[in-house]
Amino acid sequence: MADPQKQEPARNEPVALPTWPDEVYRVLKDADVRQVGMVPDAGHSRLIRAFEADPQARVITLTTEEEGIAMLAGAWLGGERGVLLLQSSGVGNCINMLSLPMICRMPLLMLVTMRGEWGEFNPWQVPMGQGTRAVLEAMGVIVTRADEPLLVASTVSGAANLAFNTWRPAAVLIGQRVLGAKNFKELARK
């Protein structure tokens, strides 16, 4: 029997949006991140919109993800901090360019929304999604992972501290369970 004090929301009430993107925005602001390089990604859309609305931040839409590594190296040399927002499939585009922060001892903070995992519908996302961590670690990137919404902000905070204080590349992998799974039927309706 249902507890009368616990009411379920009506079917037509809006579902509460996840708060982790707002928390990550605050963490990145506290870390003095002012430049954001990104290839548009639904998983980062709320975070991207927060930075686009911030008059102290500069959001740069990239043609391809590896451009963001060079852009953030330039930001660092110019005295500013930045973050690269990308999807796991974009990590494959960055392999060679990851030598820049390694050889030059520059910080690089990457937030990677994962694909090719739990609930994936697109077979083309699986290979790089499964190889993302190994590829980044092989290039010397320090990788952490958040698979629960409540852990995303603290994981990003730790990675930002590590990257900017030790001048090393660091990546946070945001698990597909945090983002939710899509399917072809949902996409066809849009």
Tens digit of pLDDT for each residue in 119-167?
888 889 898 999 999 999 999 999 999 999 999 999 999 999 999 999 9
Distance CA 50, CA 133 (A): 27
Domain of 185 in residue numbering reads as 33-189
**What predicted TM-score, i.e. pTM, was given to this entire model?**
0.87
Domain CATH for 110:
3.40.50.970
Tell me, yes or no, whether 9 lies in a domain. no
Tell me, yes or no, whether 23 lies in a domain. no
Return the half-sphere exposure (C-beta side, CA atoms, 13 A cut-off) of residue 164: 21
Question: Going by C-beta distance under 8 Å and a sequence separation of 6 or more, which residues neighbour residue 51?
Answer: 25, 36, 57, 59
Number of domains into which the chain is organized? 1
Tell me, yes or no, whether 96 lies in a domain. yes
What secondary structure letter does DSSP report for 117?
Answer: S
Instruction: Give the CA radius of gyration of the chain.
Output: 18
- Which single residue is written with the structure tokens 């982790």? 20
User: How do residues 94-113 score in pLDDT, each as one tens digit?
Assistant: 999 999 999 999 999 999 99
